[in-house]
Structure 1
Amino acid sequence: MKKRKIDIDVVSYTTVVHGFGVAGEVEKARKVFDEMIGAGVLPSVATYNALIQVLCKKDCVENAVLMFEEMLRKGYVPNATTYNVLIRGLCHAGKMDMAIEYMDKMKDDCDPTIQTYNVVIRYYCDDGEIEKALVVFEKMSGETCLPNLDTYNILISAMFVRKKSDDLLIAGKLLIEMVDRGFLPRKFTFNRVLNGLMLTGNQGFAQEILRLQSKCGRLPRHVKL
């Protein structure tokens, strides 16, 4: 297009940057971005988002942070996509403290989304940081963004990693809260929580879960109350 002297607008440049990003071509994506600046075409928030995403995907999260800070210096206001892409990249790189820092900054520009919370909760759970995941969950529940089905499934699954009685009690409470909020857990989830409670000596609570399972129509065929 340049050889034919066709004017290329910001949307076209952004599309190319995104395309190279999908292909994992960091250097080419960055080169197109630099050409765009050199041609006097101002990038949009979407352009920065595309470049930050490819940097995060290629484990160049430090450069992604620099790109984010460049956005701010130039007067751009990051949107939810910007923050979510960067936060996911930081989590993937094991930089959980920075991810939380940017999640707090996010609130100055836009509300964290369900994707924001879920990715942080998931990575904390994957790292075995159950208590920190629960802190984020509690913070989420106290704000405008309510947990969804994925949130509960992530947390309930994490409660089985350490096989601790207290964790399984939390799993049971999350299951009850899940139903109270209108979600219908899978039969597998009910059975897993039920078996865990029985194995850790929480028979009384297990009976409560069994009654809830029956109420939700999730009882195994061979079980009768």
Structure 2
Amino acid sequence: MAGKNPSSSNGRSLLGIPQIDSNQKSALVPSKTLPDYSSQMPSFSKSQPFPSHLDVPNLSPRVKAICEILAKCPAPELESVLSSSGVPPLPEYVEEVLKLSYGFPAAAVKFFRWAGLTAKYTPYSWNLMVDLLGKNSLFEAMWDAIRTMKQENVLSIATFVSVFGSYCMAGKIKEAIMSFDVMDRYGITQDVVAVNFLLSAICREGQTVTALEFFERIKAKINPDADSFAILLEGWEKEGNVAKAKHTFGEMVIRVGWNSKNVSAYDAFLTTLVRGSQAEEAIKFLKVMKGKDCLPGMKFFSNALDILIKQNEYTHAFSLWEIMVGSGLVPTLIMYNAMIALLCNNGDMVSAYRLLDEMVLNGSFPDSLTYNMIFQCVVKNRKVREAASFFTEMTKNEFLPTDSNAAGAIKMFFDGDDPETAIEVWDYMIKNNASPNEESSNALLIGLCDSDRLSDVRRFAEEMLDRGIDLRSATMEKLKIVFSKAGKKESYHRIERRWKSR
């Protein structure tokens, strides 16, 4: 154990902690605790700086004043300045100040010592001090505080949760486990709750193999519960260890059985399989889970679909979707759109249309993206009649094709001998979109030229120029050739003069 052995005691109180060098700080910050103790310690990630009173809005003026003293006052003068500040060391002030003093451990200890001269520490303030010292790797002082807490009878499991987290964040996994081993000497029960907190702290640092070693040693003495296995499975998910995940999952089923409430374990296990390119295996397990009424949650389905769709795993994604919907889970609009995109990319328009119809029944109303994905696919596959019918439905629901989709549709309708629908597409775009539709406009003129509808070419070209739509040089060259062949060069020159003067 770094510092003094936690099982030893020299009777010193925290007030007798040796002075701490103000430069003796590390980049470590408080980690998140499990939900049951989220209120016991501040929660910060490793990437965040230490908390500061400057970051807290609506902070009490008295707490702010103390924080500023701790941040600016020279160490030798600190206690006298605090005493003359006129701010009483009320328990609520002490707690708030400690939460904001992780970046100033030396000053925090002096403040804590000063506050204890005239007021009784609360258990929460003691836990905050232990956490502050631990997160700054001041482990000897941390254990001095713990021994005093034992004497004051204010120790709790929350204290050791902090110790586990501090040691693990410092890379001292062995010391964290030793802290668990001496808990009972401090009057704290070594139960499955404590086991789970330690497992969580170890796994959070990417040391799930070490967590498993501790688990294997302790499970004969303390029966693990569903949470124990869920924590390990989440660790394997984070580390992508499929083989270990399968082993842990199998043991979980044997020891604690199937439980519909153990969603996090099922989520983690199945996600590990999918990310490990074992989607087929995940589908098999998923079917077994469905039969046991122990399905994972929407978190898994959303993540798994995202992974499979990015991999264009059409068959597995579709199987996953069918199980999800068949189990009564309602997909979100984002999930519907992602799945429809996959179906369209794989040419399964029947299923894409079915999902479009089902969306409304499930309360997920299609948006512009939904319609444009299907419209793009129909156009790409040159299904002229189907595209015309879908365009009618699309506009009936007041959804506008993208300019690129409109341009592709216009070209396809001209190629498919349906110029009227092509013109209808452009008219709808102009009517409902204030911005110039350059791509679709040029496509319309090219199509009209190829159809020898020169009167329409003149009319639409004039309208496009009136609207400030840019006619491309290639389009103008096409017009020049067509009008010249028809002996109508003057009509072209009129358009050209306006085009050049724009």
Interval of TM-score (by shorter of Structure 1 and Structure 2): 0.7 to 0.9
User: 1:195 is matched with which residue?
Assistant: 481
Question: Is the 8 Å Cα contact of residues 125 and 158 (structure 1) preserved in structure 2?
Answer: yes
Structure 1 residue 38 displacement after superposition = 6.4
Residues 106/195 of structure 1: CA separation in 2 closer, same or farther (3 Å cut): closer
Rounded to whole Å, the distance in 2 between the matches of 1:151 and 1:193 is: 16
* Higher relative contact order, structure no. (Cα contacts within 8 Å, ≥ 6 residues apart): 1
Aligned counterpart for 2:415 among listed residues 118, 121, 126: 126
Structure 1 residue 54 displacement after superposition = 1.7
TM-score, normalisation: structure 2: 0.37
Question: Is the 8 Å Cα contact of residues 140 and 146 (structure 1) preserved in structure 2?
Answer: no
Deviates further, 98-107 or 188-197: 98-107
Q: Deviations over 1:108-148 (max 9, x none)?
A: 65532434544432321232322221123223333356650
Aligned AA (1:184): D
Map 1:134-213 onto structure 2 (within 5 A).
Answer: 134-144=423-433, 148-162=437-451, 164=452, 167-213=453-499
User: 2:217 is matched with which residue?
Assistant: none
Higher Cα Rg, which structure: 2
Q: Deviations over 1:13-58 (max 9, x none)?
A: 34224313xx3x3212212323544676531112111221222222
- Does residue 34 of the first structure (1) align with residue 34 of the second (2)? no
Question: Is the 8 Å Cα contact of residues 120 and 133 (structure 1) preserved in structure 2?
Answer: yes
Aligned counterpart for 1:78 among listed residues 351, 366, 369: 366
Q: Deviations over 1:47-105 (max 9, x none)?
A: 11122122222221122112222223323211111111112223334444443433343
Residues 14/110 of structure 1: CA separation in 2 closer, same or farther (3 Å cut): farther
Residues 181/132 of structure 1: CA separation in 2 closer, same or farther (3 Å cut): same
Structure 2, gaps ≥5 residues long: 1-236, 238-244, 250-264, 269-296
TM-score, normalisation: structure 1: 0.76
- Does residue 15 of the first structure (1) align with residue 301 of the second (2)? no
3-state secondary structure, aligned to 2:450? coil
User: 1:64 is matched with which residue?
Assistant: 352
3-state secondary structure, aligned to 2:449? coil
Deviates further, 147-156 or 96-105: 96-105
Residues 119/17 of structure 1: CA separation in 2 closer, same or farther (3 Å cut): farther
Deviates further, 11-20 or 52-61: 11-20
Residues 126/38 of structure 1: CA separation in 2 closer, same or farther (3 Å cut): same
Question: Is the 8 Å Cα contact of residues 458 and 495 (structure 2) preserved in structure 1?
Answer: yes
Map 1:84-103 onto structure 2 (within 5 A).
Answer: 84-103=372-391
Rounded to whole Å, the distance in 1 between the matches of 2:385 and 2:473 is: 36
Rounded to whole Å, the distance in 1 between the matches of 2:401 and 2:319 is: 31
Question: Is the 8 Å Cα contact of residues 352 and 374 (structure 2) preserved in structure 1?
Answer: yes
User: 1:223 is matched with which residue?
Assistant: none
Deviates further, 7-16 or 182-191: 7-16
Rounded to whole Å, the distance in 2 between the matches of 1:118 and 1:157 is: 11
